[in-house]
Amino acid sequence: MATIREDGKFDRFRERFFEGVNRYRWLATLGAGGVGTVFKALDTELDEVVAIKVLSPNIERDEQALLARFKREIQLNRKIKHPNVARMYDYGVSGDYPFITMEYVEGKDLWDLIDERQRIPPAEAVPILRQIVRGTGAIHRLGILHRDLKSQNVIVDPAGAVAILDFGLARGEYDQSLTLASMLLGTPQYMSPEQALGQELDERADIYSIGVIAYEMLTGNVPFWADSPVAIAMKHVTDPVPDHLSRFPDISPGLRAIVFRALEKDREKRFSSADDLETELALLEQAPRQQRETAGERIGAEDEIVAALESAFNSIVLPRPARDQAVDPPRPPAAGVPGPLVLVVQDDVRELLKTATAICSVGCRTLETRNGQEALEALMKDSVDLVFMDVDLPRIDGFDVTRILKSQPALAALPVLLTTSRFDRAQLAFAVQSGATDLLPRPFPEGTLGPRLWQVLRHQGFVPPRQFQHDSEPRPTLHGSPRPPDRRERS
């Protein structure tokens, strides 16, 4: 949202609004967009800071339709339980002003972050992008499309954790007809060709918008700009995407290929799901961020231990895996060939055996160790196909073990699935920044372990057992004829 200059008229609006909601006390004005203003406020009953989105007082509106829209936004959001999606709490009316209360996320929106820094280098951009994709995937699994994914709807906190905001345009399968004629739907700079043409939408429309966000982070600009919203939207339909990514030597060919595949005009050529896109991003040979800090404090293992282990690894030349996943297509295993080898790392013996048994039951072999140092020693001696590791390990935790592995050219492509009993936004951010392929909650939701393991292993060239070869869930198909709104122009 744009920063606004508060004047007497705006002050009177703000005062009238908060007079009607005595529960909340104004703390700051966060910004204003085309249809609303967002305040930072204290919920005095719960003693918690929240964000309040209020419809701007100068917009003509259909009150009943707007209330229906706000209620629908709350209903959709409450279905979503994911760290990368900001929570919504309630909705109401203060005087003439409908509003929504939502989680306040400390940080900057991605639009401002890009504007401030000009571009985000890949080592930071990929973890941010992965979190956007993961949150979007959680939305899609519930049959919901966001339909207005853009950098302004993404908050990045100081530790690099991401929260997706604003479900005002989201539409679920249960509600195909609710519209608001006074609202302009979609943002042209991020709009897929099919959305610009008013065609039926599925999750690949959101994937295209994510491709635009990726392009914007890596280059500093959206791919298309023109003098009017309609002209911008039509460029998405007709014009080839400018290859500005090739101008930056830190953008690998693999990352460039992923962005351009997400931006395919023909949606059949895009990633079929957010999960597929996230897996490709997770398996990029991308150098991890070198530090994990929040509020100036080191998190994780002692620096000396990590440095010593990293130094030991750097002194050893490990051969690269023989399988070239970029060239060799998956082939069915020959009769009698054992399944992929998974290194399982957990401190608790009973949990270690339980996890190893579960992994073996889905067609893999396992090698077990109990701490990070043993895991690194095992990887020096054995060629494994995937690491399945708990975050909470003695002396050196799973995040730092992953970072060490990803810093080694011979092991950079090795998938690492981390598990944690504390599955929250900060943990997920640390996981993707360290280079982990995934972070899974522990205990694992029933029926999720095998499909996730084989989704990753399939990208590594393995053919899964028959029970894991089924296609992904059907895509939600949503109808509508979105019209692009104005958006503030980049200076």
Catalytic annotation, pick one of 148, 166, 400, 438: 148
Q: What angle do CA 375, 358, 369 make, to 5 degrees?
A: 15
CA atoms of 370 and 347, how far apart (whole Å): 5
CA atoms of 327 and 62, how far apart (whole Å): 56
CA atoms of 299 and 398, how far apart (whole Å): 12
CA atoms of 75 and 119, how far apart (whole Å): 35
Beta carbons within 10 angstroms of residue 60's beta carbon: 5
Task: Answer whether 69's CB lies under 8 Å from 178's CB.
Answer: yes
Task: Answer whether 151's CB lies under 8 Å from 110's CB.
Answer: yes
Task: Locate all alpha helices (DSSP H) within 20-62, ordered by sequence.
Answer: none
The residues, ordered by sequence, that sit 6+ positions from 180 with a Cβ below 8 Å of its Cβ are: 61, 62, 65, 66, 69
148 is catalytic: yes
| Residue 464 per-residue DSSP state | P
What DSSP element (H or E) covers 293? strand 293-294
CA atoms of 301 and 292, how far apart (whole Å): 10
Beta carbons within 10 angstroms of residue 462's beta carbon: 23
| Residue 241 per-residue DSSP state | P
Cα radius of gyration (the chain): 24
CA atoms of 136 and 104, how far apart (whole Å): 19
Backbone angles phi, psi at 367, to 5 degrees: -130, 130
CA atoms of 29 and 241, how far apart (whole Å): 37
Backbone angles phi, psi at 343, to 5 degrees: -85, 120
Distance from chain centroid for Cα 54: 26
Pairing between β-strand 416-420 and β-strand 438-441 as defined by DSSP bridges: parallel
Task: Answer whether 133's CB lies under 8 Å from 179's CB.
Answer: no
Which residue type occupies 161? A
Read off the tokens for 59. 């917009």
CA atoms of 353 and 317, how far apart (whole Å): 32
User: Annotated active-site positions, please?
Assistant: 148
